[in-house]
Structure 1
Amino acid sequence: MRNRLPYARSGQVIGLLGGSFDPAHEGHAHITREALKRFGLDQVWWLVSPGNPLKSHGPAAMARRVAHARAVIDHPRVTVTDLEVQTGTRYTAATLRALTRLYPRVRFVWLMGADNLVQFHRWQDWQKIMAEVPVGVLARPGDRLAARCSKAARMHRGQKLSPRHSQGLARAKAPQWCFVNMPMVAQSSSQIRARGEWG
């Protein structure tokens, strides 16, 4: 059965964490809890994607991934949703355009781990994403230096918000982004799949 669109009140700030979540794990949950605290967010929505265009192999079935993600994160301010299936979008830039039409009185912040910032310049219309919403980047094991030296970080170094002011990201006008360090959980979906614990 298709999920309903998530609910948001006018004026709220919603953090968006997109990905295949194949499978979701404690690392996702950890950066979500940190994002809520550090970026001044009202909610975080996990956008479970139909598939990652940068990956050659498709993920597990959507229903299985959504159900597992909901078991991993049990938090009153976190919603797991298949919103991209409902909006018919596959790329982040298109998803953001759909969300701003659906929720015109809500502010969105795009969230990503440092590993995604490294390859952010390969995303379709990544510059439009930067121009559309503030971006919160959270440290991930082994990716901090590469993320700070990435093409996206270099091109937008003038719009980088100091971690000391990370709470202001929620109300910042794009393009603004913030990189925060934090205690990390060394877990990844690819490692879980490689161990044969999923799929």
Structure 2
Amino acid sequence: MPHVEGGMTVGLFGGSFNPPHEGHALVAETALRRLALDQLWWLVTPGNPLKNNSNLAPLSERIAMSEKIAPNPRIKVTAFEQALGQSYTARTLEIVRARNRDVRFVWVMGADNLKNFHRWQNWRKIVATFPIAVIDRPGSTLAYLSSPMARAFGYARIDEVDAQTLAFRRPPAWTFIHGPRSGLSSTALRATAPPRA
């Protein structure tokens, strides 16, 4: 895990990043700014249990591409889930919290993930572990109203004008952050990429 000091606020932004693109970088930069984070950990996962991983680029390649697209020194690209030997977010967050008791974390995700968040293993446990910031993505703006997570935890949503307080709130707490959006998607980029050798 990247080095942190007690009292810091850190965003956790996970995904397969297959490939990473400017839309991911925009989510990361928006989170850093709007949540007033000291760091953002860009968590490149070994694989996604909800997706077909047969076309997944090698982890080392996805890490290198992520580092190139996110040069901000406050963004720490890491793949420590590989060392943990698992890829379920709920378990990863438990381990992160256990090893960093004096750090305030926020789970960061694009709104395109919110509509299927209820399919993640132990998703309610994730909501109860860390506050969550959902960053707007094209075509997903209304997900914060209609998704099962948003309906189940509507009472815990804070207004985005208070986003800088999110890391200091006891979970469940979440916000939806509007802002600049990129239409890029990893799925579309893979569809137009030449076949892998």
Q: TM-score range by the shorter chain?
A: over 0.9
The alignment-based identity, stated in percent, is 44
Name the aligned partner's letter for residue 27 of structure 2: I
Shift of 1:84: 0.3
Shift of 1:147: 3.5
Aligned partner (choices 159, 171, 188) of residue 191 of structure 1 = 188
Shift of 1:198: 7.6
Secondary structure of 2:86's counterpart equals coil
| CA–CA separation in structure 2 for the residues paired with 1:126 and 1:152 | 8
Matched, 1:31 2:27: yes
Name the aligned partner's letter for residue 57 of structure 2: A
Shift of 1:197: 5.5
| CA–CA separation in structure 2 for the residues paired with 1:102 and 1:114 | 28
Name the aligned partner's letter for residue 13 of structure 1: T
1:41 matched to which residue of 2?
37
Aligned partner (choices 177, 180, 190) of residue 180 of structure 1 = 177
| CA–CA separation in structure 1 for the residues paired with 2:97 and 2:164 | 22
Q: Deviations over 1:43-75 (max 9, x none)?
A: 100110000000023411100110111011100
Aligned partner (choices 142, 147, 163) of residue 145 of structure 1 = 142
Secondary structure of 1:110's counterpart equals strand
Question: Any runs of at least 4 consecutive aligned residues in structure 1 with deviations exceeding 6 A, and if so which?
Answer: none
Give the unaligned 5+ runs of structure 1: none
Cα 1:87–1:166 shift into 2, 3 Å: same
Give the unaligned 5+ runs of structure 2: none
Aligned residues: 195
**1:23, 1:198 within 8 Å by CA — same for their partners in 2?**
no
Shift of 1:136: 0.2
Task: Give me the TM-score of the superposition, normalised by structure 2.
Answer: 0.95
Task: Give me the TM-score of the superposition, normalised by structure 1.
Answer: 0.95
RMSD: 1.2
Shift of 1:146: 3.0
